[in-house]
Structures are given as C-alpha cells and as structure tokens.
Amino acid sequence: MKPILLLTCLFCLQLKAQNCMVGQEVADFLEYQYSAAHFGYNGPVKSVTRIHETLNKDGYFETIHNVWGDHYLIDRLNFNEQGNLTTMYQETKQGDTMAVIKIEYDDQHRISKVSEHEFNIWKKYEPFNGTNWPSRFLHYRYDKNTLSFIIAEGDWHLPTSIDSCRLDFQYENGKVVKKTISSLDTANTIISIREYNYNQQSGLLDELVTAVDLSGQSEGKTQFNYAPDSQTLLSRVFFPVHLGFMKSEATWNYDAQKNIINYSSGDTLKEYWFCYKGFQYNDLNDIVLEYSNSENDGRNRLVTNYSYVYDAQKNWTQKNTRVQNYIDFDWVTDRVDAYRRLQEIEYY
C-alpha cells in the first residue's frame, strides 16, 4: 500500500467487509474516528505494533517490502488515556520510517488537527528526516458542541486537479442533514453534496442522497431498510443515477450485530462488473470465512479462512489468513496463499 493512502487504509481496517464496486466518497477521506474502540480494540490500549507477514516459497513467514509485490509496512499506533489515537508510524523491517501521522486534540478531547507526512514507497527506502516529504493536513472547526467544518490542505485524492477543499456540515434538530465539499480556490467548485433523510418515528437514517459527486462513482441514492422493530438495520441498497459499467446497483445485508453478511453488485447478464462477497463471523464479531466471486475481464473466485489468537482483553494478537484461489487470471486454479498478521498490544 502506498503511505499516502494511510488514513483511508486505517478506515478500511475498521470495516468488517469492504466494497467491491461502490467506493468511498470524498467525505470518507476527510471524516474519521480515531478512538481505539473504532479500531476494534477493547480495554485501555496504550500502543499497538502491527506486522503483516507472508508465507514464502520456503515455508517461512516473513515481512516483505517488494515494490511490485507484497509491500505491507509495520504499523506503530499510540493512544492517549482517553483512548484516542495520537500518532501512527509506518516503517520497514529495517527501521526506516515511511509515513507519519500526528493527531492533535482540543481541551474537550475533540480532533483539532491531523498531519500526515509520507515518503514515496515507489522510489527507495531511507530514514525519516522530515524534509521534502509530501504532507497534507486536516483542520477541524467547531461551533459550540458540533463539528462545523473541516479544512483539507494537500493532496487528498480529490477529483480533477483540486488540492485543497472545505467540508461543511448543516444540521437540523441535532442531526446532520447536508454535507457540502467545495474547493478553496476562487472558483469555489462544488465537489460533493450529500443529503441525509431520517425516519420521523425512529429518527434513524432512511436515505442518503449523493446529489453531486465529481468522481462520478457514488452519485446516486442509498436506501436503508430496517426490521419491523424499526431499529435493526437489515440492508442498504445503492441506486446509481446512471446505470452502466461499474455503476450498477449494490446491496449490503447485515446481521443483528451490524456485521455485513453479504454484498453484491452488478449483473453478468448485462456485461456489467459483477461482485459477490459472503462473510461468517465468530462470537467476537471477527470474520472467520469470506467467499468472493467477481468478474471483470476474467473471473476470480476466492475462499478465505481466518483464525485468531486472543489476549485477556479479547483483542486478537495473531490473525492467520488462508486464501484458496479456485479461478485465477494466471490459470492456476488451486493456488493457496497464506498470511499472518501479528499485533503486540500494550495497555495502560
């Protein structure tokens, strides 16, 4: 993974399942929860070191930093006593720093500033010296007890050539009803508009409309469906404005613990991108099995099994992954890949 995408990857790690087709909207790159709980950790976590290892051809696990292959870096996360992330570093196994995140909070323990500095992994590894590194920033501003707007400076992967923008929040009765992202240049270009509609009885979100999306990927409507109790989320369905390749309807179904149990998008009969994912979980809501079936200029069927080792706080310290490829682009239909992820957790 390229370090410039670090915050996005952090967000993805919090999800029980990721999308195949419908990607993150612009606002998803700018809004984050940084608490240990949102990362899925239990207890008074002080620091975490995460290592991703790949089973090599000799049958041994190792951390690999190949440019065109597996280039997972070592993550070092630090939390304060309020459970909020304060710093995160990504390093090579040689100890070279590749990315730095620093998060500042106000006296009410709310995020005030996020700073991210990264070195280009595609060039070479060298020690962090803090000079001539690409950097980007988020500045959070509040109006009394609510988040008013976020100023984003630097390359946040916005559409077109826009580097900096502002995300504004509009509230009604204490709920967000609209989010608008606009550029900070003289053109004041509207990049994205989200509108939120709530059920009058339950107060839960009924519909999310992306009225403007310059990326062209997420413009459309997401509908939320609940059980007869009007509280338990059963599914959400994304309806794109323009049907076509990579813009087909997508559906997420949930269990009672709000875990995604399956995801589907596209239609092979119409030659659209097709993707289906199914998931199973253990008692701690960690994924133990994932089935993936997708098609786009070829076919890909994967069955992934996960097993865990937990500590006394019920945080996993070892996650074993075994991926069985049943159909692959290189015509190897029985290849098995094995990975291991380790977490060393320190508590207050």
Residue 195: strand, helix, or coil:
strand
Rounded to whole angstroms, the Cα distance separating 302 from 66 reads 23
The mean per-residue pLDDT over the stretch 219-224 comes to 91
pLDDT digits (tens, 9 = 90+) for 6-22: 444 444 444 333 344 44
Residue 109: strand, helix, or coil:
coil
Question: Rounded to the nearest 5°, which phi and psi values hold at 257?
Answer: -95, 10
At residue 316 the predicted structure's pLDDT band, cuts being 50, 70 and 90, is: very high
Whole-number pLDDT of residue 139:
95
pLDDT digits (tens, 9 = 90+) for 163-173: 788 999 999 99
Q: 35 - beta bridge partners?
A: 84
Specify the range with the lowest mean pLDDT, choosing from 8-17, 135-144, 146-155, 215-224: 8-17
Whole-number pLDDT of residue 12:
41
Whole-number pLDDT of residue 191:
87
Strand bridging mode 61-62 / 250-254? unpaired
Whole-number pLDDT of residue 324:
87
pLDDT at 248 over 80: no
How many domains does one find in the chain? 1
Residue among 47, 38, 35, 140 at smallest CA distance from 85: 35
Whole-number pLDDT of residue 337:
84
CA dihedral 179, 185, 189, 194 (to 10 degrees): -10
Name the more confident of 131 and 149: 149
Residue among 138, 52, 62, 42 at smallest CA distance from 90: 52
Domain range for 261 is 3-347
pTM of the model: 0.84
At residue 318 the predicted structure's pLDDT band, cuts being 50, 70 and 90, is: very high
At residue 123 the predicted structure's pLDDT band, cuts being 50, 70 and 90, is: very low
Unique residue bearing structure tokens 């087709």: 21
pLDDT digits (tens, 9 = 90+) for 23-47: 456 566 677 678 898 889 999 999 9
pLDDT at 59 over 90: no
Give yes or no for a contact between 36 and 45, defined as CB atoms under 8 angstroms apart. Answer: yes
What secondary structure does DSSP assign to 293-312, as a single string?
EEESSSEEEEEEEEEEEE-T
Rounded to whole angstroms, the Cα distance separating 197 from 200 reads 9
Average pLDDT taken over every residue of the chain: 81
Name the more confident of 275 and 345: 345
